[in-house]
Amino acid sequence: MQQQKVLEQEGKLLPFRKAPDAVQCTLAGVVKLSGAGLFHGVNANVQLLPGSENSGVIFRRTDLSGRPEVLATVENVASAARRTVLAANGAKVETVEHLMAALCGLAIDNCVVEIDGPEVPAMDGSCLPFCEAILETGIDKQSAMRRLCRIREAHAAAGDGGERIEVTPLHQPVSSICYQLDYGTHSPVPVCSFTVSLTPDEFMQEIAGARTFIQEDEIELLRRMGFGRHLTSRDIVVFNNDGTITDNELRWPDEPVRHKILDCIGDLALCGSPFVAQVIAKKTGHRLNHVMASIVSMMSGRGITGNRAA
């Protein structure tokens, strides 16, 4: 069943914007969530607070002395496997990509994220619970104009295993992402691709509900590394070697590629400035997404005011 149908049945479809506003946006109030982290299983409480204009997204570790803050920019990305970790001022916040995707997907520019643990709660493995809580609280327009970086020429980054990510100019007011998922002929995860425009409406209906997934063969390795020991097949989508799903069902037949887009959105949000481009990604993970976020960050000085072309 597609996620939109799930939302309709639950009465949770709310009016979103077709395209991001020309002015910056923040939260209309405080959003509270809690839960265990995906990798470490440590419970944490999160409060999303309205942010001041031009402040961006700031993580604040309320459980540490001095309540140190970490700005959500690619310059603060710390090396970590299979997730995005931010570190600065003696503080670290792990697995931020789903929350960052929710904020970016709903076009929220400024937000303070107070968290009393080391890792953002996994919720249901998607960013839908974050989005729903944000929409329930509301989104406020601010006075400052959004600063958009419009990509003028193609830029690409590639890895040794055939992974590649590229941004190219796009002559429309919102970005789009095309992702090609291919784990090889022997993988139980099917080869698929998906393209989405990054409007709040389309993000909410097509991407926000896509959950984290894993292949059966990967589970024991991760547990030996100390990760995910608290998880069951109800907490994460597990693809068995024969392609079946353990104790769960997909929200879309192509849910894995939609989740890879979700991760990509959250990682690219770390470039520090909204940008307009077509993103084409093949087999990329967090590391290469961060490389592209750095490339876009270096171009962000060529920003424009509002949604108009420069």
Decide if 127 is inside a domain: yes
Tell me the CB-side half-sphere exposure of residue 148, using CA atoms within 13 A: 23
Please count the structural domains in the chain: 1
Assigned domain for 310 exists: no
Tens-digit pLDDT profile for residues 194-203: 999 999 999 9
Q: Which of 139, 129, 57 is nearest to 93 (CA)?
A: 57
pLDDT score, position 14: 54
Assign residue 154 the CATH number of its domain. Answer: 3.30.230.20
- Which of 88, 31, 41, 83 minimizes the C-alpha distance to 64? 88
**122 in any annotated domain:** yes
92 found inside a domain: yes
pLDDT at 246: 87
Percent of the chain residues topping a pLDDT of 70:
91
The confidence score (pLDDT) of residue 301 equals 60
- The answer to the question of residue 101 being in a domain is yes
Alpha carbon of 278 to those of 39, 42, 111, 165: distances in Å? 31, 37, 26, 10
What is this structure's pTM? 0.91
For 17, the token pair is: 């914007």
| Contact call for residues 25 and 144 (beta carbons, < 8 A) | no
Residue 145 contacts by C-beta under 8 Å, 6 or more apart in sequence? Answer: 22, 23, 24, 305, 306
Q: Would 195 be classed as within a structural domain?
A: yes
Report pLDDT for 307. Answer: 36
Query: Which residues in the chain come in under a pLDDT of 50?
Result: 1-13, 302-310
Question: pLDDT tens across 219-248, in order?
Answer: 877 777 777 777 777 788 999 999 999 899
Residue 286 annotated to the active site: yes
Q: pLDDT at position 3, please? A: 45
Domain range enclosing 205 = 3-14+21-305
Instruction: Answer whether residue 78 is part of any domain.
Output: yes
In a domain, 139, yes or no: yes
Give just the sign of the alpha carbon dihedral 232, 251, 128, 101: positive
Pick the catalytic residue from 40, 98, 259, 286.
286
